């Protein structure tokens, strides 16, 4: 089974993904990490040196590969992966569980700015400089796209990552008739 996590920066995709993968005993894959590994540089450097379209090409190529792998895995995706229609189609046709981790702009802003690595590793996404206006603007554009691709949305505003992970594990276990330690 494949589990894909979708959502804006700061929604907890990586943290939740690691917990779910560990409980299931399957591989955890992060599309951003694979892009960086293949490019041999950070995402911020790719944006600065080659531009966002080059990053999006690398991201689409990584996504094409990871959805084709046949072993069970959990995939955390970059927040902008839904921007390309071809990526959305690939995800929708993948048969994977696709969770949209949802939160209002104010909550995402606080979480992003509580993360010390943000400034050093994450590129600016618009000329608005990463403030609340940027998040509001991009969320307005992306929310319908996340919604169109997801199989389930989880509002993560008031729920810690461990509990989000348990909700995902419970659904997956119910569907597959499996039981995971700590998963319910």
User: Would you tell me which residues interact with ligand S3P (CB under 6 A)?
Assistant: 9, 32, 43, 78-80, 122-123, 125
- Least Å from the CB of residue 65 to ligand S3P: 16
Residue closer to ligand S3P by CB (options 2, 87) is 87
Q: Which of 10/183 has CB closer to ligand S3P?
A: 10
Residue 158's SS3 state is coil
Q: How far is the CB of 135 from ligand S3P (least distance, A)?
A: 10
In sign, the C-alpha dihedral spanning 20, 116, 147, 155 is positive
Q: Which residue has the closest beta carbon to ligand S3P? A: 78
Contacts 24+ apart (CB under 8 A), 136-143: 136/105, 138/8, 139/8, 139/105, 139/108, 142/8, 142/79, 142/80, 142/82, 142/83, 143/102
Nearest CB to ligand S3P, comparing residues 123 and 137: 123
Minimum Å distance from CB 31 to ligand S3P? 7
Nearer to ligand S3P, 52 or 171 (CB): 52
Nearest Cα neighbor of 175 from 96, 77, 70, 88 is: 96
Query: What's the closest the beta carbon of residue 71 comes to ligand S3P, in angstroms?
Result: 22
Nearest CB to ligand S3P, comparing residues 72 and 115: 115
Closest distance to ligand S3P from the beta carbon of 118 (Å): 8
Alpha helices in 105-160 (DSSP H): 105-114, 118-121, 132-149
Q: Sheet of 152-155: strands edge to edge? A: 27-30, 73-76, 2-6, 97-102, 152-155
Helix (H, G, I), strand (E, B) or coil at 124: coil
Q: Which is nearer to ligand S3P, 77 or 183 (CB)?
A: 77
CB of 56 to ligand S3P, least distance (A): 9
């Amino acid at each position: 089974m494949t589990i894909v996590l979708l959502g804006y920066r700061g929604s907890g995709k990586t943290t939740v993904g690691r917990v779910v993968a560990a409980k299931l005993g399957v591989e955890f894959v992060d599309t951003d990490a694979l892009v960086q590994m293949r490019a041999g540089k950070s995402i911020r450097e790719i944006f600065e040196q080659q531009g966002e379209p080059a990053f999006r090409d690398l991201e689409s190529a990584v996504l094409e590969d990871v959805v084709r792998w046949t072993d069970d895995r959990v995939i955390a995706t970059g927040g902008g992966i839904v921007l390309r229609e071809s990526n959305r189609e690939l995800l929708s046709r993948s048969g994977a569980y696709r969770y949209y981790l949802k939160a209002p702009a104010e909550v995402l802003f606080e979480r992003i700015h509580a993360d010390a690595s943000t400034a050093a590793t994450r590129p600016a996404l618009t000329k608005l400089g990463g403030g609340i206006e940027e998040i509001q603007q991009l969320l307005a554009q992306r929310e319908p796209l996340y919604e169109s691709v997801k199989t389930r949305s989880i509002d993560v505003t008031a729920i810690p990552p461990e509990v989000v992970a348990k909700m995902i594990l419970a659904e997956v276990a119910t569907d597959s008739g499996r039981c995971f330690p700590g998963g319910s």
